[in-house]
Amino acid sequence: MNEQFRVSQKLGLMFKPDESVPKDIQSWALSQLHKKSPAIGIKSVSRVGKSITTSGVTNWPKHLQPDLEERAKRWRIQRAFMELSRKEEKSQAEKRRYEIENFFGETDALKFSHRNVYGNDQLRVRFLTFWTNHFTMGNIHDNQNVIGHAMDEAILANLNNNFSEMLFKVTSHPAMLIYLDNIWSAGENSKHTRLCKNKPDCHAGLNDNLGRELLELHTVSPAANYTEEDIRNSAKVLAGWGTHLEETPKKMREQGRTTNHWDYFKKDYAEPGKKMVMGKKISPGKRGLRQLTDFLANHEHTIKHISTKLCQHFVSDSPKKSDINQIAKAWRNSDGDLDQIHTKVVELAIKSKEAKFQWPMTWLFQVVRLSGATYFHGWDQVYNWYDDNIIRNNEIFDELGQSLWATRQPNGYSSNKEEWLSGEMFERRIRFASAIQRGGGTHQLSVDKIMNRIGANNATRKLVDSVGMKEESRFIALMCSAELMGLENA
Amino acid sequence: MHKLNLTRRDFLKTTGASLFLAGVPIPGFTKDKPPGTISVILLEGGMDGLTAVPPFGDPDLLKMRNIISPKDYLKLNSFFGLHPSFKVLAGLFANNQASVVHATSIPYVKRSHFEGQNMMEGGGLSPFSEGSGWLGRALELINTPGRALSLDMPLILRGHNENDNFYPASIRNSSKLNTKLIDAISMAHAIESSNVFSKISNKSKNSVIDIPRDPASLAKYAGKVMSQDEGPLASVIRIPRFDTHARQGADTGKHADLLGIIDDVIAGYREGLGSAWDRSIVLTMTEFGRTVAVNGTTGTEHGYGTAGILAGGTIQKSRVISQWPGLSKNDQFERRDLMATIDYWSVCAACIEKTLGLDHETIANKIFLRPKLPRVFDYIFT
């Protein structure tokens, strides 16, 4: 591959047929780090035979990107309807209508796909994906309504900020507080727990789920050798943060003096007194969490842990110690400035000529972009459109075995190539390449044009030429070549 | 049988179980066929052994965890009970075809899911120390390739180059697999990925099998193919979501539903295996148990000791195998968890010895890398 496409494979999502390919790829990549672009996508797709018409690429409509309050309100409406439908019979059509109007998981996931396929900020989207996976938030108790919000507002909005800011914003976001059970946790000596002790059917106290994963997965990792006491104290700092999405504004005002789910701290659930976490003294009350996340954000073990992850995700399948150290150095020198950290990652990824295996979802987006296929529904078709040729957005991710909305373990998807070497995983790539070529529309670039544009290497050209003249076979061979999968050639 | 009030689709969404089959004998391979089949149910998230098999004879049990303990348990003996979700397992107990090992764990005490799961599948001396899995190494020793039924190839089965996996695809408008095309792709790849494509090539020559993806159906299917003459010798099913930090439930509820799935899976194996059940063992394993005390959100935190469930016709006499450590604060591991007094690797080793015909010394040295691993075979299989 030529340098432009090699870099956009490693760090981005490949250049679309209508995109101009930059001459100076490193400057382009670094400028992408600061690219501001809204979510864009397509409204509707219609098909006559093989010919596809779309409404054109424009900004996603505002009403499909509601704020947190609106998302919580819709959740309350949906919950009330579900309660009601237990008592009285509701038609399937009505149930579906409520789901369409009030649940945001599928809509947000399609928005994510559109961002990947149509966006002009491919490198930023890759970093968004990396960090969303680092801070895994699976769908539990229908926090699907706010996961997409966390991605946009806690992660993407902080890509040019300090890591400590992103860490705090994610940790205090309802998507995370719900996913890791923190919304129920109360300090052992909190007012809530003390009052509860005198009531016969009341049970209250600490839940250490988020406190533990904050240390283990999001920051210092087990290499830091923290103790169970540290985990419990971390959970005590977190006690009081967050509430159910269905909480009424009235009750929220009573308990937390706000109706903002993203800044919600229940004083009555908080553990009084100072806490010690890994030798750091944390103040009581609401400000304690920020102190804790700030302390963890620049901890030496956090720097090592996340520098290694970044390196394995973007630079090389077998990251070199010296590369990891360079990222860690950029982190230390800038006190965790993500711009500086990402800049170093970009430089190293370009410098390293080693192959980097691409995740199934990243590969799929790259294939769609390279060919110019239309392979995703429009935003007004999330629930109500059926096309023989295209499977639904959420089904695509199910089949790939990778989704940022799936209920899954909080350690997220591995960037280790070994975890993805399976016949079934590779078979999906063959099938998706086939389906994209067959169903993606007549305006797709031909295999020859794609190969010329990316400067396919001789091994890839030889492979493509060996499978005959059928365009579909040639397309599958190209997209499943070692070169396009980010693997070494034979 | 325990019924979940869910549609099949919801059920699949909630459980996300996956099945792995392994150990298909190489046709024409002249070697004594191993005596049985082994199936492992991986309970991800940390199964609460004190709820699954409540030691009701211990006076501290209800003091510490009344709110999450089942009241309607079946008495296994004067000390241990069986959770009411285990309907099929209870019947197997009555017929001397099931046992429980209690106060046991793999030797991992740091309470991280991801380290613990890696160790429970890898079977090495520490987390992330092995690139292969303990069952994969066992299959390598008897030289039988494995087959997994899932999108990924789980660590527990890695360790044999011929291992393969299977999971029915459902991608609209994709063409039938073209063997010649796949062979060409395979040839253009370097050895590691080339191997993977060549497995798809082999599969493309066979007819498509369509099996539902829910755990009980997967277990039934696994049992059926394992019962065949040239069938696989090992299978693995994963059941996630045992990490019940909040609202764990007791006789019913979240954890009870998950125990019901274990029961369904055992029933599936029993039915699928048919007469091969007599030479089979099914065992559960989990990365750790849960705290003795209930936490503030009527759930439990990550712990240490737990229970292992064994079922199969290879068991001669049902029993609860345990050296009970007690539940009082002083008896607990680090004053919070059930102490583990039996190394669960010994239990896995005994199951391998019984079904794959390897001797204990080989298993201890080459599979679990622990020459001093105790042999508990007689406690389980005589």
The CATH code of the domain that includes B339 is 3.40.720
Q: In the prediction, which pLDDT does B14 show?
A: 37
Confidence band of B204 (pLDDT split at 50, 70, 90): confident
Q: In the prediction, which pLDDT does A422 show?
A: 86
Q: How many folded domains does chain B comprise?
A: 2
pLDDT tens, position by position, B29-42: 335 678 899 999 99
Q: How far apart, in whole angstroms, are the C-alpha atoms of residue B101 and residue A419? A: 32
Q: How far apart, in whole angstroms, are the C-alpha atoms of residue B236 and residue B257? A: 20
Query: Within this chain, do residues A408 and A466 fall inside the same structural domain, yes or no?
Result: yes
ipTM of the complex: 0.92
Tokens of B170: 């459902």
Query: Within this chain, do residues A365 and A345 fall inside the same structural domain, yes or no?
Result: no
CB contact under 8 A, B203 and A217: no
Residues A170-197 have a mean pLDDT of 95
- Mutation choice for A interface testing from B10, B65, B114, B192 by most A CBs within 10 A: B114
Range of weakest confidence among A306-320, A358-372, B189-203, B289-303:
B189-203
Q: How many folded domains does chain A comprise?
A: 2
Percent of chain A with pLDDT over 90: 82
pLDDT tens, position by position, A31-67: 999 998 899 999 999 888 778 888 899 999 999 999 9
CB atoms inside a 10 Å sphere around CB A102: 20
* Mean confidence (pLDDT) of chain A: 94
Residue A240 has pLDDT above 90, yes or no: yes
Residue B9 has pLDDT above 70, yes or no: no
Q: Is residue A365 part of a domain?
A: yes
Q: Is residue B3 part of a domain?
A: no
- Mutation choice for B interface testing from A214, A233, A430 by most B CBs within 10 A: A430
pLDDT tens, position by position, A82-118: 999 989 998 988 988 898 889 999 999 999 999 999 9
> How many contacts does A have with B, using Cβ atoms within 8 A?
196
pLDDT tens, position by position, A388-443: 777 889 889 988 989 999 888 888 999 999 889 888 899 999 999 999 999 888 88
Angle between helices A300-310 and A122-134 (to 10 degrees): 130
Query: Within this chain, do residues B186 and B129 fall inside the same structural domain, yes or no?
Result: no
Query: Within this chain, do residues B185 and B140 fall inside the same structural domain, yes or no?
Result: no
Residue B23 has pLDDT above 80, yes or no: no
Q: How far apart, in whole angstroms, are the C-alpha atoms of residue A148 and residue A105? A: 7
Query: Within this chain, do residues B190 and B83 fall inside the same structural domain, yes or no?
Result: no
Q: Across chain B, how many H-helices and E-strands are there? A: 13, 12
Residues of chain A neighbouring B295 (CB-CB closer than 8 A) = 205-208
Q: How far apart, in whole angstroms, are the C-alpha atoms of residue A219 and residue A309? A: 11
Residues A128-148 have a mean pLDDT of 94
Residue B10 has pLDDT above 60, yes or no: no
Query: Within this chain, do residues A459 and A424 fall inside the same structural domain, yes or no?
Result: yes
Residue A183 has pLDDT above 90, yes or no: yes
Query: Within this chain, do residues A367 and A440 fall inside the same structural domain, yes or no?
Result: yes
Residues B266-284 have a mean pLDDT of 97
Query: What domain range includes position B97?
Result: 8-168+212-381
Query: Within this chain, do residues A457 and A472 fall inside the same structural domain, yes or no?
Result: yes
CB contact under 8 A, B114 and A462: no
Query: What domain range includes position A374?
Result: 3-24+358-485
Q: How far is A29 from chain B (nearest CA, A)?
A: 29
Q: In the prediction, which pLDDT does B166 show?
A: 67
Q: Is residue A39 part of a domain?
A: no
CB contact under 8 A, B193 and A487: yes
Q: Is residue B184 part of a domain?
A: yes
Residue that has been written with the tokens 């792995």 in this structure? B20
Query: Within this chain, do residues A308 and A415 fall inside the same structural domain, yes or no?
Result: no
Residue B13 has pLDDT above 50, yes or no: no
Q: In the prediction, which pLDDT does B174 show?
A: 82
Q: In the prediction, which pLDDT does B22 show?
A: 62
Q: In the prediction, which pLDDT does B218 show?
A: 84
Q: Classify residue A282 as left (phi > 0), alpha (psi -120 to 50) or beta.
A: beta
Q: Is residue B2 part of a domain?
A: no
